[in-house]
Amino acid sequence: MLLLAWLITSVDATCNPEGFDPKNANLDMARWRVHANPPVDTARTNRAFGAYKFSASDGRETFPVAFGMVEGWPWPHRCDPAKYRRLHATVKFRNTDVAVASYPKTGTTWVEQIVLLLLHGADAKLDPASRNTYNARRNPLGCVWLEPMVASARRARMSLNQFADLPAPRVLKSHAPFDAFLGTRGSTDNASLANLRQTGLKVIYVARNPKDAAVSMYFQRAPLPGKRNNIKRRMPMDAWCALYTKGYVSCGAFVDHVARWHAVSKAVESPVLFVTYEELKQNPAKGVRKIADHLGLERSDEDINAVVKLSSFDAMAAQARKAPRPGDARNAKYATLTNGAVDAKSASSHLRQGGAGTWVQHFSPLLSKQFDAAYQSTMAVAAARLGGPPPAFDFGHGCVM
């Protein structure tokens, strides 16, 4: 009955906002045919590793994109199969460890900043320009992204022994789906909440409405013109959305990723706290307090307010600009226009805009309705499979679904 009620409500909640940019009026997701190689279901069943390629074509232009594949999921990095399975089987966690998990571009760096400030205090020297990634020399308080740092198919940046020697509290980052998340199983077991409970890990999972997430990932991941990919302009937003709603992007389908983690968070005595970007944006102090309580941290109102201030978008962006380094995530490809043109005069870091509901600037009314229909139908399937109501997201512009 809960699922039926949600389906009825969600259909009525389709967004019809104002503020669409006229330059995007011709965006139409239906004109794009998308292709994945290998097929997602086959790759997932076989827990495949290697290369994952997909493309969007309208008969005149074809936009190819490639990712690494880890356990049948397209990820933003490649892992060595043997290293990854060994990591699953041998990594040891402590009850002081905290993991920030998410689908890409949903507020990961923001929540990492909040967690690190809560654990280390307002005087902590953090580095949002590098996504607060752990670096023994430059950023010893940072987050450890175990999958690419230890199990990389290229050169590993950290050994398991080095990870084991890190002082508490260790903070981890992961974009892994629950079924591939370290700690949910051994090398061959199926993932389970019982396994995750035994690790002692506390997990903060942050999610964001899928339209804003799709736009943010577009500015990071959509291919640019180049000789290697043989394209003359950036992939248009409607082509990207056709891929995104199919799950032919980094970390697979938004719906599968988010719905599974949300269901796990609702279990009795779950070590997973599910928070949304929008609720943090609407009431940061309440959101930070919620995270502190989940981690068992007693913090004063003064402490909470200091964390809110230092984790604001403006504060993090200013901090990121202050000390640029060669490895920082600054790339002119983020500063592009929805129609595929590249603004070569500007560049920004992965802290691109920090807004909520700004997807309307990049969609057409038709694309908005197409995206909503695809999202609602796939979320309905995911919710039915998991046996509970799905998460509700504030899409802005008076729309919650």
| Predicted local confidence at residue 155, as pLDDT | 84
- If you compute the radius of gyration of the chain from its CA atoms, what whole number of angstroms results? 20
Q: Is the pLDDT of residue 301 over 90?
A: yes
Q: Is the pLDDT of residue 397 over 50?
A: yes
More confident residue, 126 or 283: 283
358-379 pLDDT, tens per residue? 999 999 999 999 999 999 999 9
| Predicted local confidence at residue 6, as pLDDT | 41
| Predicted local confidence at residue 111, as pLDDT | 97
CA gap 310, 124 in Å, rounded? 10
CA gap 186, 191 in Å, rounded? 8
- Residue 196: CB partners within 8 Å, gap ≥ 6? 181, 183, 184, 203, 264, 271, 272
CA gap 223, 229 in Å, rounded? 8
| Predicted local confidence at residue 322, as pLDDT | 66
Confidence of residue 14 (pLDDT cuts 50, 70, 90): low
CA gap 293, 279 in Å, rounded? 16
Confidence of residue 317 (pLDDT cuts 50, 70, 90): confident
Residue 218, both tokens: 């577009």
* Mean pLDDT computed over 25-49: 93
Please report where in the chains the tokens 């950036």 appear, as a residue.
234
* Mean pLDDT computed over 108-114: 95
The CATH number that domain 2-391 falls under is 3.40.50.300
| Predicted local confidence at residue 189, as pLDDT | 78
> CA nearest 376: which of 17, 30, 6?
6
64-110 pLDDT, tens per residue? 998 899 999 998 888 999 999 999 999 999 999 999 999 999 999 99
- Residue 146: CB partners within 8 Å, gap ≥ 6? 87, 91, 158, 163, 172, 174, 182
CA-based angle 280:254:240, to the nearest 5? 110
3-state secondary structure of 266: coil
CA gap 281, 131 in Å, rounded? 19
Confidence of residue 243 (pLDDT cuts 50, 70, 90): very high
| Predicted local confidence at residue 354, as pLDDT | 53
For the chain, the average pLDDT equals 87
Confidence of residue 297 (pLDDT cuts 50, 70, 90): very high
CA gap 34, 239 in Å, rounded? 8
- Residue 328: CB partners within 8 Å, gap ≥ 6? 129, 130, 320, 349
DSSP state of 152: B
266-289 pLDDT, tens per residue? 999 999 999 999 999 999 999 999
Delimit the domains of the chain by residue range. Answer: 2-391
CA gap 313, 114 in Å, rounded? 11
Please report where in the chains the tokens 């997430």 appear, as a residue.
213
